[in-house]
Amino acid sequence: MVTMSVVIPFYNEAESLDMVYREVMDALSAHREISWEFVMVDDGSTDGTSAIMDRLAQTHENLRAVHLHPNSGQSAALEAGFRTARGEYIATLDGDGQNDPSDIFRLFDEMKRRGVDMMCGIRQRRADSFIRRLSSTIANTVRSSVLKDDITDVGCSVRVFRRACLDRVRFFRNAHRFFPALFIMAGFTVAETPVNHRARKHGTSKYGGGINSRLWVGLADLAGVFWLRKRALRYSVTEGHGPEDR
């Protein structure tokens, strides 16, 4: 049984892939007491990411390369990685190198210490532009006020959670923006802890589009998740004892 599966989606990240690969492998190899695998998901890239990923996957038995056709978005790439993953726990990072893989096991230890189902990162000293930070702050405030999920930084991709939870979490386009809320809606516990954030060294952001497009798509998605929250089934089940148990 694999303990930890690290799932990372990549879309046209040929410039960053080798660096991310090395850092993740260093972080995983430092924890010899934990069995692990690294699932790299190519979301229909057109820049050579796919070929690099296949080459890297041949270097270690615990590396797996998953390819989506065509480009289907970050949520689809994550879902494909989750379906492929065999670990009892799953960790996620972005493929652009801004997340620090060494945070994975800090979140993992904190999740076990607090006894929660998902641990999310809160990016400290964000290495993003003022406009990007401002739009993120506004989006987080609006989302939290509507969904009541009390999550500070839903845009942070550094997360660790129990794989078994996925059986009760619904996926849809842009679901990754609402993972903590979706886990809470499914009856699971979620907490946060600070993580590192670095400047992007190569290329530009491939996911998300401009601020204006993210705004309107985000509002539409938020309305959909709010509807799901209101319509969610909430109940507990107990089973009576049969005659032979009395």
Encode pLDDT of 148-185 as tens digits.
Answer: 667 788 788 999 999 999 998 888 787 788 888 889 88
Helix spans in the chain (H):
14-29, 49-57, 74-84, 103-114, 130-147, 179-185, 211-231
Q: In whole numbers, what is the pLDDT of the chain averaged over residues? A: 83
Per DSSP, the residues of 51-83 read: HHHHHHHTT-TTEEEEEESS---HHHHHHHHHH
Distances from the Cα of 219 to the Cαs of 12, 186, 195, in angstroms?
Answer: 27, 22, 27
Task: Please state the domain extents for the chain.
Answer: 4-231
Distances from the Cα of 76 to the Cαs of 79, 82, 146, 243, in angstroms?
Answer: 5, 10, 25, 48
Kindly report, residue by residue over 30-74, the tens digit of the pLDDT: 998 999 999 999 999 999 999 999 999 999 999 999 999 999 999
Residue 3 pLDDT grade (very low, low, confident, very high; cuts 50, 70, 90):
very high
Output the six-digit token pair for 131. 């406009």
pLDDT higher than threshold 60 for residue 217: no
SS3 141: helix
The pLDDT value given to residue 207:
55
Q: Which residue in 166, 173, 207 sits closest to 44, CA to CA?
A: 207
d(CA 180, CA 176): 9
Distances from the Cα of 52 to the Cαs of 56, 78, 220, in angstroms?
Answer: 6, 19, 36
CATH top-level class of 4-231: alpha beta
The pLDDT value given to residue 239:
76
pLDDT higher than threshold 90 for residue 219: no
pLDDT higher than threshold 90 for residue 108: yes
Residue 199 pLDDT grade (very low, low, confident, very high; cuts 50, 70, 90):
confident
Residue with tokens 């796919």: 50
| Cα angle for residues 53, 58, 59 (degrees, 5° grid) | 100
